[in-house]
Amino acid sequence: MALLKSGIIAPLGIGTVLSFAIHPLVSGSISAFFTFCPSEIQQPVLNVVNSFVSTSILNTLVRPITVAFWLGLLSRLNSYLSRRSANNWADDTYNWEEEIVLITGASSGYGERMTELLAQRGIKVITISRGPLKPRIASYKSVYWYKCDVTNFERVSQIAAQIRREHGDPTILVNNAGVLSKVLLLEQHVEDVKKMFDVNLISHWKLLQEFLPAMIRKNHGHVISIASLASFISTPGMGEYAATKHGLLALHDTLRQELKYVYKAERVRTSIINPGWTDTPMVQNTWEAALKKKGTAIMKTDEVVARIVNVILSGESCGPLPIPSYSTLAIGARMLVFP
């Protein structure tokens, strides 16, 4: 995955350390040294190492290191095959001087930061949101803003037609707009639930109907859906939000299959991103106080957006992509307990 030049550096985590430990170049080199290296080369190195680790411990570690080598090799082979399969074994190229990225919900949170990072690279970004962009974001010459409530579907159609007239067909659609609440199931009002479904789920469907046909015709494009870890795991007070994000997972899976088997658009990419708690205004205004009281970790927006922008720039399908990476373990455990 390409590293951003914006200076965003995520701290090392358990996954990073583990990946390094089982990397075939690391474990393979160590295993080969102990297995095949002549004694006249081994001994000087061992003399130095033995001052820190005894020979008996080193001999004990050789077998696990060899196993780690094969695990690392198989892991990378599996990742390669999975990536190729997710992209239908079809290569495609992206010319970022010509691509057009459309982002919903771009006035704050993920959308705002995504817009800025892409604009810094000179990529054309069309933004849709109810509120205006911050002056810092609006100052980029490659950024355009259209005022639109994504739950006003007639207005969405009008804005979509205007965007096509003024800019052409967007080639990357980032369905990012979303709302969050903190209300127990028995205390929710039907109108509020309907509103959340309109924003978090039905607006995705509407924007697909507007912009996906051009991608299919050209057999080129990328749909990125911003979902949540709530697609897999819910919690009290998050019933309607989790339902919308679980529905988004199903919508995305259907999209992927229809592109491949119905429309034969093998080069249209699909990615779904599933971040955990992040310090966006949406979380700050609802859950942050309760999360801090419980000591729950909250990620920085830049940490999540760096991953999303890398997915966009890769030009390849991805996901579901849980963020942080170690949350995959919790999701797997949940599926085992509640299949």
> Which residues are catalytic, by number?
241, 245
Contact 227, 235 (CB under 8 A): no
Any idea which residue has 């350390």 for tokens? 17
Question: With the CA atoms of 167, 169, 171 and 176 taken in that order, what torsion angle do they form, in degrees rounded to the nearest 10?
Answer: 80
- Secondary structure letter of residue 262 according to DSSP: I
Asked if omega into 339 is within 30° of 0 (cis), the reply is no
Task: Please give the distance of CA 46 from its chain centroid, rounded to a whole number.
Answer: 44
Q: How far apart are CA 169 and CA 94, in angstroms?
A: 15
Any idea which residue has 């919900």 for tokens? 105
Q: How far apart are CA 318 and CA 4, in angstroms?
A: 18
Q: How many CB atoms lie within 10 A of CB 112?
A: 24
Q: How far apart are CA 281 and CA 110, in angstroms?
A: 10
